Structure 1
């Protein structure tokens, strides 16, 4: 099977099953004998199509007499793959992109092969004539199509952030982020891991802000690295590592992570605690709890106890039992679009409004587990104010026992700001969009 056929299968899985891109890619490629060059091409096509889907669909709609909603999704995906290669991948000749797309279509639905051939060749003949609305004609529509973000989201951001900020944010969301890992200091040191990775042919960028963070390049299949298999590091974005630093857990403490999956922050907390103390890691999905256990075992962590529990419910046995509690709340995920571009297409304003109620409920429940003088940390991987600062405001209004603690003393200088809470943006901080607030329960 060639790279484009793999890309097609992955994109179809994402469209039909609402699969996360990273999971769909890993599932399709796991155990397959694929060259590093083809692996890179597969990822390039998958993420390139997802990042530019609205733009590609706009072009298809201009070239086809058949309405998009009348087309078979399989045909649409093949057209997106072909157009993406022609428009964005200079290294692939246009005739090869057309030929490969038609060949794949012949195997899936021979009757549609002529249609695919016609649309792609029509683009090559008429590409200069296809124009999106200009900034002057329709600002929102121009940005929506140009950067492939839903119109409602572009309109929302323009209203909240202004034009210059929004354009920079949209651009950053379509850029490929570096692969960020966390050094497992329970098993190795930063310096030793760098040498180990170099020996495995991996390029390492040490220019990070969090001490235990490194960026990797030219990795290939990361799961095949011996350093990964030996648990010398964990994949985690630098912004996510800040949560553990802000929580500031100590040896021997009792920590509760109420929404722990997939466990990156949980294992980081255990690492900071030097594997001494107790962490109760909870989630509602057993398979995600199993993943936390597997990662903990590989990393050599022994203080995490996983429990299946719904954070929207109260556990009376835990009231005032925890030194520190982490609420890494379920959210819209609109801060990690550059890692999971499919997220921008399956969210709505209604979704954001609904999830804020869940976030507040979880925060209120989790706050009851905190001892007097204990710490409660709230975090999300989104940049939406409704899910962040507004949730904190509502919580503080409903519970005067808690006060906001300044996060700045706990984080690297690059991320410090005038506000006590932390809000990161991809185009400003070169990290995922992330929010962190630290609260103390008064004695």
Structure 2
């Protein structure tokens, strides 16, 4: 593989924004890919994947390169040289690589790979927390899997097409997919591709949604004609799935504290041919009180640490703080107290997170069930999904039923 100067410069510019200015990696990469119209798909893949790779292994590469944050451009070139050397890529005779100690890099890599926090490139506090909550063996397997690139999974929109028809349509656009066992609406791409440019996407035949995330709507056990509330709807991946399971019949009230996210959901709903969704911004306690005792089904896709989806958001390893996790657990408890009042007697709710930490998951549910409000509910079942077992995102979901 030959390195091209303009592509490498794009990577270095991207890393500067991500590491030193706190920008989100996905947004930075979106911007970088618009930089040069002459770039082909290989060039764009190089920029995106190299940037994500160096973000993912930041701690390991910085340790090998002997550099510390904040990283100036020379530091970033040293980290880039580590990445290239470990990938077996021959470094060109550019000034940035003049002092690269190639042999030493491989030796340091072997040495540091014996220590999990370096090998898996995570902050000390995160490694300690993982061991405390999951135990040494489980955490070791899970964090290793969270460092692998995630597959691209599609969810077929059954309001417009079938899984088989979608597969054939994508095949006609040179995108090969395969069915996933135990995921009724999922198709997995055999190779990465820009699915957003396809005719099928523009026609609303599918959404990109991880296989674990697709299990949440199924877990809620919705039926056509029900009144369903999704209180942390965001941009609405699970809301749209609920709409297709309900065959567009009944009512879904999608709520969020961010109006900007609900606007995105509105656009997606139109493309998906969904018309049973009502959007509500949570700007006070009023919209919540109005729905007390009214919902047949309630979905709480709670804010969380996101430690189950590090494969998709490797930069969150460096953005997360221990204090954030402590605070988010308080928010989760409040959300359960506040929103569970919407469920009517005999109704059901699902509490879900994209975290693998028991303190954000089963422990939150157990604590809720001991409160005055929680005593009105019965625990039905839960599902703990680990990436190293499923091959997909880490997720948790619990189904509770309100007593009649």
- TM-score between both structures, scaled by the size of structure 2: 0.92
Corresponding residue of 1:404: 379
In 1, Cα distance between the equivalents of 2:285 and 2:83? 43
- Matched position secondary structure for 2:143: helix
Asked if the contact 2:142/2:388 (under 8 Å) is kept, the reply is yes
- Matched position secondary structure for 2:100: helix
User: Kindly tell me: are residues 354 and 210 of structure 1, through their superposed partners in 2, closer, same or farther at Cα, counting changes over 3 Å?
Assistant: same
User: Kindly tell me: are residues 287 and 383 of structure 1, through their superposed partners in 2, closer, same or farther at Cα, counting changes over 3 Å?
Assistant: same
User: Kindly tell me: are residues 304 and 12 of structure 1, through their superposed partners in 2, closer, same or farther at Cα, counting changes over 3 Å?
Assistant: farther
Asked if the contact 1:14/1:24 (under 8 Å) is kept, the reply is yes
Residue among 237, 241, 247 paired with 1:274: 247
Asked if the contact 1:132/1:146 (under 8 Å) is kept, the reply is no
In 2, Cα distance between the equivalents of 1:134 and 1:198? 44
Residue among 5, 9, 13 paired with 2:13: 9
C-alpha deviation, 1:165, in angstroms: 2.4
User: Kindly tell me: are residues 375 and 150 of structure 1, through their superposed partners in 2, closer, same or farther at Cα, counting changes over 3 Å?
Assistant: same
C-alpha deviation, 1:70, in angstroms: 6.3
User: Kindly tell me: are residues 311 and 199 of structure 1, through their superposed partners in 2, closer, same or farther at Cα, counting changes over 3 Å?
Assistant: farther
How do 1:33-44 and structure 2 match up within 5 A?
33=37, 34-44=39-49
In 1, Cα distance between the equivalents of 2:314 and 2:392? 15
Corresponding residue of 1:253: 226
How do 1:31-180 and structure 2 match up within 5 A?
33=37, 34-61=39-66, 68-69=68-69, 71-72=71-72, 74-88=73-87, 90=88, 92-93=89-90, 95-96=91-92, 99=94, 102=95, 116-118=96-98, 121-130=99-108, 142-180=115-153
Deviation string 1:30-56 (CA, Å, 9 cap, x unpaired) is 595331111221222012111111000
In 1, Cα distance between the equivalents of 2:122 and 2:159? 41
Asked if the contact 2:280/2:287 (under 8 Å) is kept, the reply is no
In 2, Cα distance between the equivalents of 1:39 and 1:213? 27
In 2, Cα distance between the equivalents of 1:337 and 1:55? 16
C-alpha deviation, 1:128, in angstroms: 4.9
User: Kindly tell me: are residues 312 and 208 of structure 1, through their superposed partners in 2, closer, same or farther at Cα, counting changes over 3 Å?
Assistant: farther
- Matched position secondary structure for 2:150: coil
Corresponding residue of 2:388: 427
Corresponding residue of 1:222: 195
Deviation string 1:152-176 (CA, Å, 9 cap, x unpaired) is 1222223333333232222211111
Gaps of 5+ in 2: none
In 1, Cα distance between the equivalents of 2:304 and 2:70? 33
C-alpha deviation, 1:134, in angstroms: 6.4
How do 1:240-319 and structure 2 match up within 5 A?
240-310=213-283, 315-319=288-292
C-alpha deviation, 1:257, in angstroms: 0.8
In 1, Cα distance between the equivalents of 2:77 and 2:159? 47
In 2, Cα distance between the equivalents of 1:24 and 1:208? 35
In 2, Cα distance between the equivalents of 1:161 and 1:265? 27
Gaps of 5+ in 1: 62-66, 103-115, 407-420
Deviation string 1:105-154 (CA, Å, 9 cap, x unpaired) is xxxxxxxxxxx434xx332253355367668xxx7xx1111110111122
Asked if the contact 1:183/1:214 (under 8 Å) is kept, the reply is yes
Corresponding residue of 1:369: 342
- Matched position secondary structure for 2:12: helix
In 1, Cα distance between the equivalents of 2:304 and 2:284? 14
Corresponding pairs, count:
397
C-alpha deviation, 1:69, in angstroms: 4.1
In 2, Cα distance between the equivalents of 1:187 and 1:173? 33
User: Kindly tell me: are residues 289 and 306 of structure 1, through their superposed partners in 2, closer, same or farther at Cα, counting changes over 3 Å?
Assistant: same
Asked if the contact 2:170/2:200 (under 8 Å) is kept, the reply is yes
- Matched position secondary structure for 1:382: coil
In 2, Cα distance between the equivalents of 1:272 and 1:314? 25
How do 1:231-242 and structure 2 match up within 5 A?
231-242=204-215
- Matched position secondary structure for 1:400: helix
